[in-house]
Chains A and B, each alone.
Chain A
Amino acid sequence: QLQLRESGPGLVRPSESLSLTCTVSGGSISSDTDCWDWIRQTPGEGLEWIGNVYNSGFTHYNPSLKSRVTMSVDTSKNQFSLRLTSVTAADTAMYYCARHGRGPGAVEAFDPWGQGTLVTVSS
């Protein structure tokens, strides 16, 4: 059973960078069809898609965050990562990683999700 788990600092200072890692277990991140996504939920607000990365390293970012986002994948560690620069209080959120299945027989949705990690931006 595929499981994802986020890790990283829970507190980031304004103007600095937020870095999170998602570790995939119970399956390989090297799927040719799946992509690996980051999604966040700000306090009291809805869900916002940040972007995704394929095992090839190809990325697609939400245009609203594109100038500040970098995602990468490390197939040797079965991990993928998120870096968000120049953070402000508005970036305080629960950050989730998720797989998005693609292709024949796949559940074409965000499934599964990691448990989430709360990141607070504060001095």
Chain B
Amino acid sequence: QSVLTQPPSTSGTPGQRVTISCSGSGSNIGSHSVSWYQKFPGTAPKVLMYTGSQRPSGVPDRFSGSQSGTSASLAISGLQSEDEADYYCATWDDSLSAWVFGGGTKLTV
């Protein structure tokens, strides 16, 4: 069972906006910034968001992140078929003294 809780799956239609949540506790999200990763089957994860809401260069501005309290979320607007992938959140956990990941959310478009 993952330290960070994400919904196992979500779906949307092209053009829609979807949000993926990531819930934690005071020792992780409540104290540290969250990063988000996109993973396609058979490929390595790719960072989409870091320090909560910063996008690396090359990531479309359709992706946005936010963080408040012990939760974080990733929003994808103008959903496209190529967004169909698994999405993971991650942050540092003070209690575990380790980086922790969410269980992943499978997005179906």
Contacts and interface: CB of A to CB of B under 8 A. Distances in A.
Interface of A: 37, 46-49, 60, 62-64, 96, 107-116
A107 B47 contact: yes
Contacts of B43: 115
A109 B100 contact: no
B96 A63 contact: yes
Contacts of A109: 35, 37, 47, 49-50, 56, 90
Given A63-B98, A107-B56, A116 B44 contact: yes
Contact of A111 (B47, B51, B98): B47
B49 to A, nearest CB: 8
B33 A108 contact: yes
Interface in B38-74: 43-47, 49-51, 54, 56
Contact of B44 (A60, A63, A108, A114): A114
Nearest to B36: A109
Q: Which 7 A-B pairs have the closest CB atoms?
A: A109-B50, A109-B35, A113-B44, A49-B99, A47-B101, A111-B47, A109-B47
